[in-house]
Amino acid sequence: MKIAPSKSNSGNVLMTVAVVALAIASYMTLVTNENNTVARSQAWNQCIPVCESGIEEALTQIHYWENNFTATNNWTLGADGYYHKSRTNSDGSYCAVSIVPTNPPTIYATGYVVAPMKTSSSYVVRKVKVTTLRRPADGINAKGVISFSGNSTIDSFNSANPAYSTGGLYDSTKHEQNALVLTDSDAKPAIQISTGTIYGSVDTGPTGTVSVGGTITGTTANNANVQINDVQPPFTYGTGITPTNGSYNYNGTNYYYLLGTGNYNISTVSLTSGNALCVNGDAVLYVNGPFSIAGQSYIYIAPGGVLNMYINGTGSFAGGGIVNSSGYATNCFIYGLTNCTNVTYSGGAAFIGVMNAPDAAFSYSGGADFSGALTASTVTFSGGTSFHYDESLSSLTQVVASWNEF
Amino acid sequence: MKISISSSKAAKRGFTLFEMIVATGAGGLLFAAVAVMMMYGGKSTAMMGNYVALDQSDRDTLDTITTDIRQANMVTSYATNQLQLQTTDVNTGATNTLTYTYNATNGTLTRVLSPFGVASVATNTTTTLILSNIVANKFSFGMYQRNPIGGVVDQYTTTNASLCKVVQVSWTCSKSVLGIGETESVQSAKIVIRKE
């Protein structure tokens, strides 16, 4: 047997391999950690849109509730007194939202995103608190051109505050300067007031212009970007009551149509020859075609009565117009459905109410003013008629007041 | 059993010149290869470490800026190298002024938080250096209003702070490591002010 002398350099190879392996391992660890950090950062940032989706849903529900909080649309009332809802996305992320039913409401949204390189039950979590407030100003909203001819005044008042109204009615000595005249239009001009004063602000589309012969007391902006949704029918046509005549003791006793509390539907309405419509309850009237008033005819909303009228055709309010005896805009709502492309109001009585006809060219004339709120496709006021926005209506709309992330 | 230990003359003789040349050459090549590999490995690791540090610094800064802008009440003042926001403290409800200022000379971005309406040099002002190593003139703020431009994914620009809904921030940072190279990191983001 031959024993060869040991080779003392064998350890050098091992040492070299060890050093190289250590260097490679360090490098790979560095790269892996960087990758993990980036992935976690992306998940952390992804929590925000997840929270945002929940907040959007909460704001929609708040608008739907109109401050009458109930466990509807899969929102549940928890033992903590908050309303809760959770929605899971296809990638496993989900948002848990809570609404604190105060006035104005507060929203808490918690976004959960599956943590990178972890099991599906491990999440990156972020929380957002959103407080809301009443939309501070409104008035006229339109998709197209808004035009006032003659010496018009556009201002605001508050029918719910005696300091800014008298008996709930507009009082020029108590008016405020919070009217907003807004259009998404980029026309030049998109808002045109020949003479007169806007006691408030105007806002057009980004390239729209404003032509005002008088004065604007507030701001002029060009960043309007308002989504004006179509009005949906209140109920399935044909399932309501057909209006009939009846008696009510005002300006005579016989009415061509007398509406009490309930859902009414009719194909068309044409009030002429002194025929009148009286509302003495909380009535919803769905007219699946044109609606017109002419001659000596009129609509009378009795004290305590509320009219919600949906028109699916043209609307023409001449004659005596709409006599809203309460004097409050919240007692008269006129809605234009998608086939309502033209609405004219030239009635003798001042319009006191809310006109929401987003697809209609709306024109207003005559000597009486408009008090309330208006939404239309285009708006034309002529003959020096004025518009007074009722600020008490703004309570129906909530917007984001603050956004805080945790 | 016979154990034979070789001690022949042949075994005892030294290397020939040829053997020495071959062995030295092969060893030198092997040493050079290992040295080059170690050198580039070290350089690569250093560069990677440098990039990681730069990237983490950039990401932390961007997270801070985006969080601040998302929560802001409004933009109160704007320049391409300075952005001033009005914010509300979520705990105290106090209104503050938050100012981001880019210093082109030093290549830094500072974040200054001060009570609203009080000069930024007030004693209760908090100043933080949140980013350094910014390449000269490679930092900018931009402002956009809320309206999207039809047909493209973009918004109308504005120079009017009161109309600002979206803030864009862009920068390039660069950092050298041991004089052997530069690592560069580019960031750009558009942030929507949620309250506006």
Across residues A6-17, what is the average pLDDT?
70
pLDDT at residue number A104: 86
Across residues A241-259, what is the average pLDDT?
89
Looking up tokens 């399935």 gives A236
Task: Decide: helix, strand or coil at residue A329.
Answer: helix
pLDDT band of residue A4 (cuts 50, 70, 90) is low
Which residues are paired to A362 by β-bridges?
A343, A379
Going by the DSSP 8-state scheme, the letter that residue A381 receives in this structure is E
CA-angle at B24, arms to B20 and B27, nearest 5°: 140
Q: Mark yes or no for CB contact B147/A400 under 8 Å.
A: no
- Closest to A403 (Cβ–Cβ): which among B38, B44, B70? B70
> Which residues of chain B lie closer than 8 angstroms to A224, CB-CB?
147
Task: Decide: helix, strand or coil at residue B23.
Answer: helix
> Which residues of chain A lie closer than 8 angstroms to B6, CB-CB?
2
> Which residues of chain A lie closer than 8 angstroms to B67, CB-CB?
405
Question: What is B52-68 written as a DSSP string?
Answer: HHHHHHHHHHHHHHHHH
Which residues are paired to A216 by β-bridges?
A198
pLDDT band of residue A395 (cuts 50, 70, 90) is low
CA distance readout (Å), B175 to A33, B39, B43:
20, 20, 14
Pick the residue of B4, B65, B70, B183 with the most A CBs within 10 A to test the interface with A by mutation: B70
Cβ atoms of residues A127 and A109 within 8 Å: yes
pLDDT at residue number A196: 83
SS3 letters across B136-164: EEEEEEEEEEEEECCCCCCEEECCCHHHC
Question: What is B50-113 written as a DSSP string?
Answer: HHHHHHHHHHHHHHHHHHHHHH-SEEEEEETTEEEEEEE-TTT--EEEEEEEEETTTTEEEEEE
Tokens representing residue A371 in the block: 């008090």
pLDDT at residue number A176: 93
pLDDT at residue number A163: 94
Q: Which residue of A has its CA nearest to B193?
A: A403
CA-angle at A48, arms to A98 and B53, nearest 5°: 140
Q: φ and ψ at A10, to 5 degrees? A: -60, -35
pLDDT score of A342 more than 60: yes
Cis peptide before A189 (omega within 30 of 0): yes
For all residues of chain A together, what is the average pLDDT?
90
Which residues are paired to A137 by β-bridges?
none
At B113, the amino acid letter reads: L
Tokens representing residue A242 in the block: 């057909």
Tokens representing residue B38 in the block: 């170690």
> Which residues of chain A lie closer than 8 angstroms to B48, CB-CB?
27, 30-31, 34
User: ipTM for the complex?
Assistant: 0.77
> Which residues of chain A lie closer than 8 angstroms to B162, CB-CB?
219, 221
Across residues A170-197, what is the average pLDDT?
92
Residues of chain B with pLDDT under 70: 1-12, 117-124
Percentage of chain A modeled with pLDDT above 70: 95
CA-angle at B153, arms to B151 and B154, nearest 5°: 105
Q: Mark yes or no for CB contact A34/B48 under 8 Å.
A: yes
Pick the residue of A31, A203, A223, A404 with the most B CBs within 10 A to test the interface with B by mutation: A223
Element (H, E) at A212: strand A210-212
For all residues of chain B together, what is the average pLDDT?
86
Q: Which residue has the higher pLDDT, A3 or A75?
A: A75
Residues 6+ apart with CB under 8 A from A289: A267, A268, A312, A313
Q: Which residue of B has its CA nearest to A126?
A: B67
- C-alpha atoms less than 13 angstroms from C-alpha of A68 in its C-beta half-sphere: 4
Q: What is the dihedral of CA A253, A259, A260, A263, to 10 degrees?
A: 170
Q: Mark yes or no for CB contact B52/A33 under 8 Å.
A: yes
- Closest to A405 (Cβ–Cβ): which among B38, B45, B67? B67
pLDDT score of A3 more than 70: no
Q: Mark yes or no for CB contact B67/A129 under 8 Å.
A: no
Residues 6+ apart with CB under 8 A from B128: B110, B111, B112, B113
Its pTM stands at 0.75
Whole-angstrom Cα distance, residue A275 to residue A327?
A: 22
Whole-angstrom Cα distance, residue A366 to residue A380?
A: 12
Q: Which of A355, A359, A352 is CA-nearest to residue A378? A: A359
Q: How far is B90 from chain A (nearest CA, A)?
A: 7
Across residues A14-24, what is the average pLDDT?
83
> Which residues of chain A lie closer than 8 angstroms to B88, CB-CB?
402
Q: Which residue has the higher pLDDT, A366 or A41?
A: A41
CA-angle at A289, arms to A288 and A291, nearest 5°: 115
Q: Which residue of B has its CA nearest to A203?
A: B163
> Which residues of chain B lie closer than 8 angstroms to A24, CB-CB?
41
pLDDT band of residue A396 (cuts 50, 70, 90) is low
Report how many helices (DSSP H) and strands (DSSP E) chain A contains, helices first: 1, 30
Q: Mark yes or no for CB contact B38/A1 under 8 Å.
A: no
Question: What is A129-145 written as a DSSP string?
Answer: EEEEEE-S-EEEEESS-
Whole-angstrom Cα distance, residue B152 to residue B146?
A: 14
Chain B CB within 8 Å of residue A64 CB? no
Q: Which of B88, A30, A362 is CA-nearest to residue A22? A: A30
pLDDT at residue number A152: 87
Pick the residue of B40, B45, B57 with the most A CBs within 10 A to test the interface with A by mutation: B45
- Closest to B49 (Cβ–Cβ): which among A30, A129, A222? A30
Q: Which residue has the higher pLDDT, A36 or A339?
A: A339
Pairing assessment for the beta strands B134-148 and B108-115 based on DSSP bridges: unpaired
